[in-house]
Amino acid sequence: MNLPQSNDRYEVCFEGIPSFPQEGWLLDYYAPILGLKTVAIYLALRNEPRGVWGTLGSFFLRYQVTEGEFASALSGLEAIGLIRTWQKQNADVNDYVYAIYCPRNPKSFFGSELLCGTLRRYVAPQQFDALLQKYQLDPLPQEGFTDVSTKFFEHFQDGDATHYVAVKNLMGESALTLRVLFDYDRFFTALKQEEPLIQEKMFSREEKDFIRDLAALYAYDEENMASLVVRVLETDKPFGARLNKDRLRSLCALYEERPYFHREKEKRETSHLSGRSAIAEVVRAMEEKSCSEFLSDLQGGGKPAPKEVQIANSLTQDMGLTSGQANAVIFYLLKVRERPTLTPTMATNLAAAVLRNDAKTALDAFDYLIQTSPENAKKEQTKSRAKPSVVPPSQPALPPKKTVETEEEEGDEDYAAFLEKL
């Protein structure tokens, strides 16, 4: 978010023609989302003369708003597609051009899954239904009626095409596409991991946009969204009708209260490992990659078995692990245990143990699994059975004092040696 200063300059340009009905649209379904003060700042900018430069300080003083209030309002207006900001950095002051867009008409707004779903979060159900009723068009006569209206060519067309010249960029409106965080490549990669026969070309543009908008509305990441889409896909239906939208919408709402479905979950807790040690490389891979990608890396880049992908995804969707924690469980089962195998029962039991012991990161989960592993218990038993060395009382065996640096170095060396033996 930009924080314009009072001495910065600004001007406005218009990408739509203001009209009286638009003010009602702003109050009905933009103000509940943005707040009335933000809508007022939008109207104030829309009231500015075009092509005239002024200082933001004069704007703040005239409308009694602070720099912070203006920046906060501008951020919301930009995000919802009412304003687009262009900046030019100069030595002393910055220049801003605010492109003013018109609010979407009711058909465009309520036809957008993202905007319509966002509004549902801010108003009561009865208020939302009242808005739909307010902007619903009356049905046209159907049975027994025939459209006898005069056609354009019947009244105006005289055979001389020179009169009909299109003029561009004169009137009308331009709507901004809302910018959301969604990686289609990552989504379809995860989708193919779950069901290899699914191809991107099986989806229409409208279905792709619907999936993207739902993911943005509920803040789901691409992998979890793929796991929901594969459950509602009807491949026997014709092109454009293979995605059961109502079912997908219901599933998204059903899992909304599960925080591990959301994109922010992975960003809150990381292991904060740097360097190029073996354990650092492995743990970073655990936390940066999805379960299907991590499984693929473990077998040299090949496609993992669908059953293994299903088990791995269940650790995040059903058990509530982050991708990093789930990958730690996968790595332990497939690379650490004497008999490597990935089964639903074993994976679920280990996931539950990780959660009970409050392991926050991939490294926490991996450390816990190593410490409690049967292989580690066998080593401890072997050490306890070894004959202790006898040390004369006059010469007690004191271990050398270790610094934090030497402990970390030895830990990396132990992990590196451990990983090289796998």
Last residue of a domain, one of 264, 286, 307: 264
Average pLDDT over residues 139-153: 83
Q: What is the pTM of this model?
A: 0.54
Please tell me whether residues 279 and 254 are part of one structural domain.
no
Take residue 13 and report the two structure tokens written for it.
């340009």
- Between the alpha carbon of residue 152 and those of residues 141, 156, 158, 165, the distances in Å are 22, 6, 11, 16
**From the centroid of its chain, how far is CA 293?**
18
In a domain, 189, yes or no: yes
What is the pLDDT averaged over residues 271-276?
58
Of 88, 105, 122, the residue at which a domain comes to its end is: 105
Residues 352-376 have a mean pLDDT of 80
- Whether 81 is in a domain gets the answer yes
Going by pLDDT thresholds of 50, 70 and 90, the confidence category of residue 39 is: very high
Does 219 reside within a domain? yes
**What's the pLDDT at 379?**
58
DSSP helix/strand/coil, 248 = helix
**Would residue 2 count as lying in a domain?**
no
Residue with the two structure tokens 């905007």: 115
Domain endpoint, select from 379, 397, 412 = 379
Q: What is the CATH number of the domain that holds 63?
A: 1.10.10
In a domain, 134, yes or no: no
Does 121 map to a domain? no
Q: Are residues 229 and 253 in the same domain?
A: yes
Asked whether residue 86 is assigned to any structural domain, the reply reads yes
Examine residue 78 and state whether it is found in any structural domain, yes or no: yes
Q: In what order do the strands lie in the sheet with 94-100?
A: 54-55, 9-14, 94-100, 83-89
Given a cut of 70, is residue 122 above it in pLDDT?
Answer: yes
pLDDT tens-digit map of 226-259: 888 988 888 888 888 889 988 888 888 887 766 6
Confidence grade of residue 410 (pLDDT, cut at 50, 70, 90):
very low
307 Cβ neighbours under 8 A, 6+ residues apart? none
Domain that holds residue 206: 184-264
User: Does residue 274 share a domain with residue 260?
Assistant: no
| pLDDT exceeds 70 at position 67 | yes
Residue 40 predicted with pLDDT over 60: yes
**Looking at residue 98, what is its pLDDT?**
93
Which pLDDT value is given to residue 145? Answer: 92
Same domain, 195 and 279: no
* Total structural domains within the chain: 3
